[in-house]
């Protein structure tokens, strides 16, 4: 495999770096550096989404006929890697990388014409209505129900761990529209306006002190049947398709590498008493770097498949599994590198909006919030146990 860039690709790399230098503001860069979550605050992330959209780069993975930039796999790789190195915000992840591909693959022409431009422009901000209090890894047991009444569905039930539901104006949700011998066959995929009467959003504060997730309640919420994506009862198929993109359509290795670099720099600094001189810390940094190299090679193979129109398939579970585990390894390493300073924790509210001087240096400010927030990496998007089951069944035939 030749991993060197040709002259055209090097020119594109220079174009991306020039674009970032001209458009990434100091506020955006600092906010991103001080965001412990994988989700940027909408006021930061959506501003960057609008900037990308203005350049025609708002959805790197989309087909060109729907607003994608028609990049080669190498260009996509260059773009995402340079963005990670520069510290750009995460954009409309649940719009661009999750519900967007489902609408493109299964939505009606009317849905494509209405929703896709609004995702690209940042006009709509999406949340995901999947998990319920009794349905997490066993998602097919979900009970939120949609009953037909005329041209509408009447929805009752609840969703939980709904990231940024307090910011979102739209939700894509899996709901039960019928009962049968197979739970999966009675589920439909619905697009919901979060301003619809009967929707209540309640915050859940996590271990890091942040308000990132919520519980959402539906009480006789009326949603047009026209908002259903694809066929009734086929939502399980569409939901699995979406999860493949959630788990396996991004370039995680570049951000992991930047996270590890920041920890390594802390380990070499006087702030940590040169923690790098500890043989255990030094060895762990090397081990994580090797893991990132291996993940990077798998991502390159998947990216090439995506560019030909294939969905990631079961390999997305490998990417999700390893990305989650490596992220946690990086955050554990960070906590050990700063040592007793880990006891001084600023709550996430968010950190870049703190209106007082912090007790710990800014370079160390996110280390413990990232560690605490990162405990969920091996749970959200499908637990590590579920990913291993998928790999065993679909790739190993066990």
Q: Which alpha helices (H) appear in the chain, and where do they start and end? A: 7-23, 26-33, 42-55, 73-86, 93, 100-106, 109-121, 235-248, 252-268, 279-307, 315-338, 367-373, 384-394
Number of Cβ within 10 Å of residue 45's Cβ equals 25
Q: Which residues pair with residue 158 across a beta bridge?
A: 217
- The catalytically annotated residue of 80, 132, 244, 246 is 246
Question: CA 173, 179, 182: angle at the middle one, nearest 5?
Answer: 90
Residues sharing a CB contact under 8 Å with residue 178, sequence separation 6 or more, in sequence order: 185, 186, 232, 233
SS3 letters across 171-222: EEEEEECCCCCCHHHHEEEEEEECCCCCEEEEEEECCCCCEEEEEEEEEEEE
Question: Does a cis peptide bond (omega within 30 degrees of 0) precede residue 350?
Answer: yes
Give the pairing of strands 126-129 and 170-176: parallel
Q: Is 381 exposed, middle or buried (0-12, 13-18, 19+ CB in 10 A)?
A: buried
Residues sharing a CB contact under 8 Å with residue 288, sequence separation 6 or more, in sequence order: 260, 326, 329, 330, 333
| Whole-angstrom distance, CA of residue 62 vs CA of residue 76 | 11
246 as an active site residue: the answer is yes
User: Which of 71, 251, 247, 92 lies closest to 172, judged by CA?
Assistant: 92
Q: What are phi and psi of 99, to 5 degrees?
A: -75, -30
Catalytically active residues are 246
């Amino acid at each position: 495999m030749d991993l060197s860039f040709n002259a055209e690709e090097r020119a594109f790399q220079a174009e991306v770096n020039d674009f970032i230098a001209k458009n990434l503001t100091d506020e955006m860069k600092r906010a991103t550096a001080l965001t412990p979550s994988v989700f940027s605050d909408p006021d930061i992330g959506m501003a960057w989404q609008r900037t990308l959209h203005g350049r025609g780069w708002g959805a790197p993975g989309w087909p060109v006929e729907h607003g994608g930039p028609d990049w080669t796999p190498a260009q996509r790789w260059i773009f995402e890697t340079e963005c990670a190195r520069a510290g750009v915000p995460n954009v409309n992840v649940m719009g661009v990388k999750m519900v967007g591909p489902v609408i493109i693959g299964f939505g009606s022409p009317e849905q494509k014409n209405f929703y896709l431009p609004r995702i690209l422009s940042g006009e709509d901000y999406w949340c995901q209505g999947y998990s319920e209090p009794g349905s997490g890894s066993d998602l097919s047991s979900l009970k939120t129900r949609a009953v037909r009444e005329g041209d509408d569905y009447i929805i009752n039930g609840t969703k939980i761990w709904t990231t940024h539901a307090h910011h979102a104006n739209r939700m894509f949700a899996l709901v039960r529209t019928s009962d049968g011998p197979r739970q999966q066959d009675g589920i439909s995929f619905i697009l919901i306006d979060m301003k619809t009467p009967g929707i209540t959003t309640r915050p859940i504060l996590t271990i890091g002190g942040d308000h990132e997730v919520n519980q959402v309640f539906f009480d006789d919420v009326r949603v047009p049947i026209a908002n259903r994506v694809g066929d009734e009862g086929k939502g399980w198929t569409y939901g699995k398709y979406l999860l493949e993109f959630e788990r396996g359509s991004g370039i995680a290795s570049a951000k992991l590498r930047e996270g590890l670099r920041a920890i390594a720099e802390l380990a070499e600094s006087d702030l940590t008493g040169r923690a790098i001189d500890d043989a255990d810390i030094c060895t762990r940094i090397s081990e994580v770097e090797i893991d990132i190299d291996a993940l990077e090679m798998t991502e390159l193979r998947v990216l090439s498949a995506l560019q030909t129109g294939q969905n990631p398939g079961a390999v997305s579970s490998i990417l999700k599994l390893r990305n989650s585990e490596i992220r946690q390894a990086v955050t554990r390493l960070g906590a050990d590198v700063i040592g007793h300073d880990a006891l001084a924790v600023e709550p996430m509210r968010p950190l870049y909006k703190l209106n007082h001087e912090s007790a710990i240096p800014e370079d160390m400010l996110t280390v413990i919030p990232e560690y605490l927030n990162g405990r969920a990496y091996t749970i959200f998007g499908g637990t590590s146990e579920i990913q291993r089951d998928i790999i065993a069944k679909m790739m190993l035939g066990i």
